[in-house]
Amino acid sequence: MSRSILIVDDEYGLADMLSMLLETRGFECTVAIDGALGLAQLEKKRFSLVLTDVMMPRMDGLEMVRRMRALDHLADVPVIVMTAVPSGVSPHERALVQGVLAKPFGQAELARAIELVLA
């Protein structure tokens, strides 16, 4: 599997910045602006990792993760959630993901979280 990351975030500037940063580190990135579009991308391609915001319109990141975990072919795809309110991610929701990044985060923190998940 290639080193591919699906970035799901409704903040276009942040999604683009993350994509550019991760591409310089050798990842192939795809961006979706909400959980519904994220699921659509996951049906088209197998990703090494999903990096998703929590709060988004239409379908939030945690709902997307719940739906992923209910599908056999997506149940094992690693997910890191990004949120300005990490305390809002319940213990049950944390059990569904491989990492929680508190916004704002730095490049080194992001790289460390990704490498831990993909190691």
Q: Are 30 and 57 in contact (CB under 8 A)?
A: no
Structural domain boundaries in the chain: 4-118
Pick the CATH number of 4-118 from 3.40.47.10, 3.40.50.360, 3.40.50.2300, 3.40.190.10: 3.40.50.2300
pLDDT in the model for residue 39: 98
Q: Are 98 and 112 in contact (CB under 8 A)?
A: no
Tens-digit pLDDT profile for residues 69-105: 999 999 999 999 999 999 999 999 999 999 999 999 9
Tens-digit pLDDT profile for residues 31-71: 999 999 999 999 999 999 999 999 999 999 999 999 999 99
Q: Are 47 and 5 in contact (CB under 8 A)?
A: yes
Q: Are 57 and 34 in contact (CB under 8 A)?
A: yes
Residues contacting residue 26 through CB under 8 Å, at least 6 positions apart: 3
pLDDT in the model for residue 114: 96
Mean pLDDT of 1-15: 91
Which pTM was predicted? 0.95
Distance in angstroms (rounded) separating the CA atoms of residues 28 and 20 = 10
Residues contacting residue 88 through CB under 8 Å, at least 6 positions apart: 54
